[in-house]
């Protein structure tokens, strides 16, 4: 649902416990490229530059916490844990927790899309929001957001071993269980060439284990493996 009132954005600020000094940054962070196509007079840019910035700030914030709190773990393990905390599946979960899609500025077509492309848009919006907070009040404020909404997922990552390479771990489990090797198949390609989202399913024989999406086939395969692992753990 697209919401464009300042009152509604104040609800989001309350939800994230952060008040913007420059409200324009918040609106830019929530503006998808598609919205500008239907609203050429919109006074704000789309959020892709903020997403680029927020991605780097997010990695730095998570890295700082892991470096400080796990002094005995080597670089390889810390890198894997960080990847599990900043990947698209985790960010989509955080977007859902914040109910972020209620506040996005989307085209009418994108607003109706309930598929994986929408999840990808929300993932990018989380990164853009972090970038906006960084520009608004600096790195420590951005780190506060990361501490409040990203790092609480660390115990689950450690407990479920989500920091392990998802594709390798899934292959190990399926080969031990079914004597099969997981196979990945691109089931759909969404969007134009410059902004394409790949949807990939992973199978063990004819059994579909999970499905993922991403801007590259590799990222989509990784998310599909992560979804399959979570499904197997529930079962």
Q: Tell me the domains of the chain and their CATH numbers.
A: 6-159 (1.10.1520.10), 166-234 (3.30.160.20)
Beta strands in 113-157 (DSSP E): none
224, 201 contact by CB (below 8 A)? yes
Catalogue the active-site residues.
55, 127
Of 201, 217, 215, 209, nearest to 235 (Cα)?
Answer: 209
Q: Is the pLDDT of residue 166 over 70?
A: yes
Which tens digits make up the pLDDT trace of 49-106? 999 999 999 999 999 999 999 999 999 999 989 999 998 889 989 999 999 999 999 9
Look at residue 195 in the predicted model and tell me its pLDDT: 80
Look at residue 2 in the predicted model and tell me its pLDDT: 46
Q: What is residue 197's three-state secondary structure? A: strand
pLDDT band at 164 (very low <50, low <70, confident <90, very high): confident
Which tens digits make up the pLDDT trace of 146-160? 999 999 999 999 988
pLDDT band at 165 (very low <50, low <70, confident <90, very high): confident
Section 172-192 average pLDDT: 91
pLDDT band at 1 (very low <50, low <70, confident <90, very high): very low
Look at residue 169 in the predicted model and tell me its pLDDT: 85
Beta strands in the chain (DSSP E): 183-190, 197-204, 207-214
Q: Under 8 Å CB-to-CB from 11, ≥6 apart: which residues?
A: 103
pLDDT band at 113 (very low <50, low <70, confident <90, very high): low
Q: Is the pLDDT of residue 3 over 80?
A: no
């Amino acid at each position: 649902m697209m919401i464009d009132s300042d009152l509604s954005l104040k609800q989001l600020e309350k939800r994230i416990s952060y008040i913007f000094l420059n409200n324009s940054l918040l609106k830019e962070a929530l503006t998808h490229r598609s919205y500008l196509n239907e609203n050429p007079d919109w006074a704000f840019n789309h959020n892709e530059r903020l997403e680029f910035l927020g991605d780097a700030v997010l990695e730095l914030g998570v890295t700082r916490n892991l470096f400080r709190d796990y002094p005995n773990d080597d670089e390889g393990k810390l890198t894997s844990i960080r990847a599990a905390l900043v990947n698209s599946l985790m960010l989509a979960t955080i977007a859902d927790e914040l109910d972020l899609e209620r506040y996005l500025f989307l085209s009418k077509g994108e607003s109706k899309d309930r598929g994986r492309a929408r999840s990808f848009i929300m993932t990018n919006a989380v990164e853009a929001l972090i970038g906006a907070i960084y520009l608004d009040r600096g790195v420590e404020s951005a780190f506060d957001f990361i501490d409040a909404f990203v790092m609480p997922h660390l115990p689950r990552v450690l407990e479920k071993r989500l920091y392990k390479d998802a594709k390798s771990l899934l292959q190990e489990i399926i080969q031990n269980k079914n004597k099969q090797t997981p196979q990945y198949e691109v089931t759909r390609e969404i969007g134009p060439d410059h902004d394409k989202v790949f949807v990939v399913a992973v199978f063990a024989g004819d059994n579909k284990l999970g499905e993922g999406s991403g801007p590259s086939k590799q990222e989509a395969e990784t998310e599909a493996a992560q979804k399959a692992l979570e499904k197997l753990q529930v079962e």
